[in-house]
Amino acid sequence: MLAKRIIPCLDVRDGMTVKGINFVDIKEVGDPVELGSKYARDGADELVYLDITASHEKRKLFSDLVRRIAAHLNIPFSVGGGINELKDADVLLSAGADKVSVNSAAIRNPLLVDQIAEGFGSQFVIVAIDAKLENGRWGVYINGGRIPVEKELFSWAKEVESRGAGEILFTSMNHDGTKNGFACDALRALSESLSIPVIASGGAGSEEHFAEVFTRGKADAALAASIFHYNEIPVPQLKQYLREKQINVR
C-alpha cells in the first residue's frame, strides 16, 4: 500500500498566506515561501498553494511567486487558482510547479482537464472540488465556494477521472476550518468509486482526525492549513502518532 501523504495547504491572497473559517473571516498567517520551506524541513510530503481570489477576481497566478517557492523547496508542490487555459498550466510548470490544481475553470470548461492531461500527463493535473452537503446532496461550488453550480460531487469526480485527472482534492465546505474532523463518509465513498488518489481537505483539528481519515475515510492524502500554520500539530509529531497507529506514512 502506498504511504499516506501529509500536505500542508497555503492559501495565498495578495502574496501572503491566509486562513479563514468556512471560506470566510480571512486572516494573514505568514510568508508563503518561508512557511513552505519550514514545512519541507519538518517532513511534509507535499505542499499545495492556492490563490484563493484568483478565480473570483479573474487574475492570473503570479509565476514569479511560484519561481521563488520552487527555488526554496525540495518537495513537490501544487499550485491552483486562476488557471483558465492550457498556457496557464504551461507557465506554472515552467516556473517550477510539480502539479496544477484546477477547480472553477474545469467546471466552466471540462475540456481543460483533457488538455492538461494530454499536454503534460495525468500526474500533473489535480481537480479540486469544493462541495457542500445540503439536503442529503453534495453540491459543487466554484469561485472559492461563492457560487453553486449544477454538479454533484461523485458524478463530477467520475467525469474528471475519465478526462484524465490524476488526483481529486475534495474540500468539504461544511467542515472547512471547523477542526471537527474530515467528511469521512463522503471521502470513503469517493475513494471507493475512483481509481485515482483522493486528497482530503476540510476539518482537520487533531491527530485522531488524520488517523480516521486514512482508515475510515480511505483517503490517500490529508491536507490541512490552520493546525500547521499555528503549530497546533507539528508535522513530525503527527507522523510519529500515525506510525504508532500502524498507518503507513513516509
Residues marked as catalytic? 11, 130
Q: SS3 for 196?
A: coil
Q: What is the DSSP letter of 3?
A: P
**b/e for 110-137, b at 16 or more Cβ within 10 A?**
bebbbbbbeebebebbbbbbbbbbeeee
Let me know: does 250 contact 3? Beta carbons within 8 Å: yes
Instruction: For residues 218 and 183, give the distance between their C-alpha atoms in angstroms, rounded to a whole number.
Output: 11
Residue 230 in grid coordinates: 499555528
Instruction: For residues 131 and 152, give the distance between their C-alpha atoms in angstroms, rounded to a whole number.
Output: 8
Instruction: For residues 89 and 237, give the distance between their C-alpha atoms in angstroms, rounded to a whole number.
Output: 35
Question: Long-range contacts of range 73-76, CB-CB < 8 Å, 24 or more positions apart?
Answer: 73/36, 73/37, 73/40, 73/47, 74/40, 75/40, 75/44, 75/45, 75/46, 75/47, 76/45, 76/46, 76/47
Q: SS3 for 149?
A: strand
- C-alpha 51, offset from chain centre: 11
